[in-house]
Structure 1
Amino acid sequence: MRAFLAAVAVMVCVVACGLRPASSFVPPVEPGGIRPVPGLEGQRVRVTSKEFTEQLVLGKIAVLALTAAGADVEDRTNVQGSVNARASLIRGGTDLMWEYTGTGWITYLGQQKPVQGAEAQYEAVRDLDLRENGIVWLPPAPLNNSYAIGVTRASAEKWGLSKISDIPEVPVAQRTFCVDHETFGRDDGFLGMLKGYGLTYGEEVPRANVRRVSVGVLYNSVASGQCTLGMMTTTDGRVKALDLVLLEDDRHFFPQYNAAVTMRRQLADAHPEIAKIFAPISAKLTDDVMRDLNAQVDVDGGMPALVARDWLRSEGFVR
């Protein structure tokens, strides 16, 4: 207990001083619903993740779950960028990470068109990634961290907005968008969405109506009325915290980005029990659950490792 309190004290000091917390901090856990697995005892498993909040929380969930099962886990979460995290898995520097089906299909496997339907998209990326790269995809969670168009509740009520195809109901002068820099030009992002919904950039959506901003300020920019509409993601905790409304993607333009545990084939073949550990965890991770977990970090200032531990405890997976 003293060691744990000391670790927390160090983390609080680091945060208070404005420095980046150490990504390797993991609180102790005891087995709960996750029982020790004899075959995993002492087995080294290197877990990685990307650097944004949701990935950090998911990465810590994986670290803690495998630790409770008896594995010797190396926490290598908090890697900058999707490509770098994925490269470490492909090259054998790490063994396991949470990934998104749409990212795997489009970004890593170079496919131009998403597959319609969550199950079909999962099966497509599962089969192709195993065949080409030896990466095993476990069945995905319900959470779908896809793109969305968000507005304030007041804007939704004022113009009767419930789906993306309702955007023309907003007068052109007020048809303003906040879009982050990366998403703006992507085929599965802002310009692609406009094309998919028959809205011409420069006409139905004047160029001057679009502000390119960082993700860090985008949600507040919409909430404060600087933009009427914003390109958001469905599981971001700020959606709930700021009482924003996500419009239905009624033309099913945006790809499915269901989160799933991915791992090297060597690990999956040697330890099929890992799939059994993560199956009940994945089943619990819905959009609403993930929004709450993300908000505990981004809105309430919680530490990803403690947020992950507390959720696993609340669900009875660990003690």
Structure 2
Amino acid sequence: MQPSGRPAGRDPHNRRPTVIAVAVALVVVVAALAVVFVLDPGSGDARSRPPLSAAADLSGRTYTVGGKDISEEQSILCEITAAALREARATVTSRCDIGGTEATRQALLDGEIDVYWEYTGTAWEVFLRQSQKILDAGRLHDLVRQRDLQENDVVWTDRADVDDTYAFATAGGALPGVGTLSEMAAHVRSGAPGDVCVEREYATRPDGLVNLQRAYGFTVPRDRLRVLDGGDIYQATARGDCLFGEVYSTDGRIPGLGLRVLTDDKTFHTIYNPAPTIRRTTFDHAPDVAKVLDPIAGALDQATMVALNRQVSGQGRDPRDVAAAWLADEGFVPAAR
């Protein structure tokens, strides 16, 4: 029997077992964290990674870095690349707003620029004119890398694990019964009101609107098709001016404006992983450039790219500042003091 006034099972005069138990638990936790850090250094401070200045010495090399003017993502990737190459002691000129896909690709082929980020799906369907759908991201990158080198002397380095595919979105509260592109197609076929908005490039690309309509069996009437600048589609869709708006899946305005992306249930749009593309002659003069670019691609993922894009499109930050901050946060360049 326990003495009166003392809770059963407790001895206030004997705390030693409790202290020992807590100490043992702390040792176990610290040891576990040490093991995790050893097995996965990325789980610790990102600045523990080697800086790009130690990855390669590109002293004496000169690069013109290009970028499309169609999205915040292209601007950010261009600025990241320019800053990374400067960190590796290269001389760099930035041209981050050349134009659309065709203009930027041609600038690479003509030697006006040396490197820019292109998308695997774009190269496969637009440049290499392939119609076979490749749904494995790694295989698609390998095929594009091989074919583009053989046919066009363009080198592809590592891809980022980011799928910036085309998509269609509606305002968050609009058309709750429409959740797929098949249902969007049925809505358009029914003659119900509402405009479909796309950017000019998507309206003419082989992986764009023309073949999307064939795949899903619908045609947007001319008086209901609006061709807008890509950046204007997001706000117009949120306001309801566009019932369906063509968007990029990694654009930060999608969550920022509460847009709802429709499922591509027939998988019409392919995988669009971004990767640096480099003129072969430029690459062959300094193959170590891949040692600068590959770690960057490896550090980018879908959530990271959406967050970076949102800083530009949603918060109005300059892409160069966003790029510089990310490189420092990741330990690729020294943090600003």
TM-score by length of 1: 0.79
Amino acid at match of 1:46: T
Counterpart pick for 2:119 among 100, 104, 114: 100
Q: State which drifts further: 171-180 or 275-284.
A: 171-180
Q: Aligned-pair distance for 1:38?
A: 5.6
Separation (CA, whole Å) in 2 of partners of 1:85 and 1:168: 32
Give the structure 2 partner of residue 153 of structure 1.
Answer: 172
Give the structure 2 partner of residue 15 of structure 1.
Answer: none
| Structure of larger gyration radius | 2
Answer yes or no: is 1:41 the counterpart of 2:59.
Answer: yes
Query: Is the contact between residue 102 and residue 114 of structure 1 (CA under 8 Å) also seen in structure 2?
Result: no
Give the structure 1 partner of residue 156 of structure 2.
Answer: 137
1:15-44 CA-to-partner distances (Å, cap 9, x unmatched) read: xxxxxxxxxxxxxxxx96323356422322
Separation (CA, whole Å) in 2 of partners of 1:77 and 1:177: 29
Separation (CA, whole Å) in 1 of partners of 2:166 and 2:172: 18
SS in 1 for 2:126: helix
Give the structure 1 partner of residue 35 of structure 2.
Answer: none
Give the structure 1 partner of residue 36 of structure 2.
Answer: none
TM-score by length of 2: 0.75
Give the structure 2 partner of residue 56 of structure 1.
Answer: 75
Answer yes or no: is 1:67 the counterpart of 2:78.
Answer: no
SS in 2 for 1:40: coil
SS in 2 for 1:59: helix
Q: Which runs of 5+ in 2 are unaligned?
A: 1-48
SS in 2 for 1:253: coil
Superposition pairs for residues 298-313 of structure 1, below 5 Å? 298-313=313-328
Separation (CA, whole Å) in 1 of partners of 2:102 and 2:118: 11
Task: Give the 3 Å change call, closer, same or farther, for CA 89–185 of structure 1 in structure 2.
Answer: closer
Task: Give the 3 Å change call, closer, same or farther, for CA 90–209 of structure 1 in structure 2.
Answer: closer
Q: Aligned-pair distance for 1:223?
A: 0.8
Amino acid at match of 1:119: G
Separation (CA, whole Å) in 1 of partners of 2:184 and 2:110: 45
Q: Give the percent of matched residue pairs that are identical in Structure 1 and Structure 2.
A: 35
Query: Is the contact between residue 158 and residue 298 of structure 2 (CA under 8 Å) also seen in structure 1?
Result: no
1:57-97 CA-to-partner distances (Å, cap 9, x unmatched) read: 11110011111122222323321233332223223333221
Query: Is the contact between residue 37 and residue 70 of structure 1 (CA under 8 Å) also seen in structure 2?
Result: no
Query: Is the contact between residue 156 and residue 278 of structure 2 (CA under 8 Å) also seen in structure 1?
Result: yes
SS in 2 for 1:75: strand
Query: Is the contact between residue 57 and residue 88 of structure 2 (CA under 8 Å) also seen in structure 1?
Result: no
Separation (CA, whole Å) in 2 of partners of 1:187 and 1:267: 30
Give the structure 1 partner of residue 298 of structure 2.
Answer: 283
Detail structure 1 runs of 4+ shifted over 6 Å in the superposition: none
- Provide the aligned C-alpha RMSD in A: 2.5
SS in 2 for 1:79: coil
Q: State which drifts further: 118-127 or 103-112.
A: 103-112
Query: Is the contact between residue 55 and residue 292 of structure 2 (CA under 8 Å) also seen in structure 1?
Result: no
Amino acid at match of 2:148: D
Separation (CA, whole Å) in 2 of partners of 1:221 and 1:139: 36
Give the structure 1 partner of residue 275 of structure 2.
Answer: 260
Amino acid at match of 1:125: V
Separation (CA, whole Å) in 1 of partners of 2:105 and 2:213: 30
Q: Aligned-pair distance for 1:317?
A: 1.3
Give the structure 2 partner of residue 316 of structure 1.
Answer: 331
Separation (CA, whole Å) in 2 of partners of 1:63 and 1:211: 35
Amino acid at match of 2:258: D
Query: Is the contact between residue 327 and residue 333 of structure 2 (CA under 8 Å) also seen in structure 1?
Result: yes
1:244-267 CA-to-partner distances (Å, cap 9, x unmatched) read: 121221211012221001112233
Amino acid at match of 1:284: A
Separation (CA, whole Å) in 1 of partners of 2:186 and 2:99: 40
Q: Which runs of 5+ in 1 are unaligned?
A: 1-30
Query: Is the contact between residue 175 and residue 209 of structure 1 (CA under 8 Å) also seen in structure 2?
Result: yes
